[in-house]
Copies of this chain bind each other. A is one copy, B any other.
């Protein structure tokens, strides 16, 4: 049996070194069978320790089916200054519109995207593929077998989503837009 403090310490250390979100189960699998129940509680305790709070710079987030530690967005100016990072988005309006179409209507083909935006999406899709926001998920079984596109884990991570179904419903967004 591993003591509770060691379980918590190990979990914190692993979350600290893991750059990518780690699925909960993978964290628990680090321990012996007999310790997993206790480890699950230890994990919740560690995550509670990293709840966003005043004076704290790091917080735990659930994203892309896992948990990870990230800096809190309010601190962006300090981090940008220190790491000399640019704060500008690399996604153009065209890229964001195409990404939204892929995200909400996936899996979707290029001709179907063109139908929705009335603009040839080839160049933008290439950018999104290169930036790993979008991936080819297969081919559609219609004439010409066009590629099907969907979003990636990178997309979920970047937009802080746990799953594609966590995207806000389109209807809600439109209402917010009408009110605004």
Contacts and interface: CB of A to CB of B under 8 A. Distances in A.
Nearest to A82: B14
A65 interface: no
Contacts of A17: 71, 79, 82-83
Contacts of A146: 176
A11 interface: yes
Contact of A13 (B4, B15, B75, B136): B75
Given A122-B176, A129-B177, A160-B137, A69 B16 contact: yes
B12 A122 contact: no
B161 A138 contact: yes
Given A125-B177, A129-B177, 19 more contacts: A4-B55, A9-B72, A9-B74, A10-B75, A14-B82, A16-B58, A17-B71, A17-B82, A18-B82, A18-B83, A18-B86, A30-B85, A123-B179, A137-B160, A138-B161, A145-B166, A147-B168, A147-B173, A148-B160
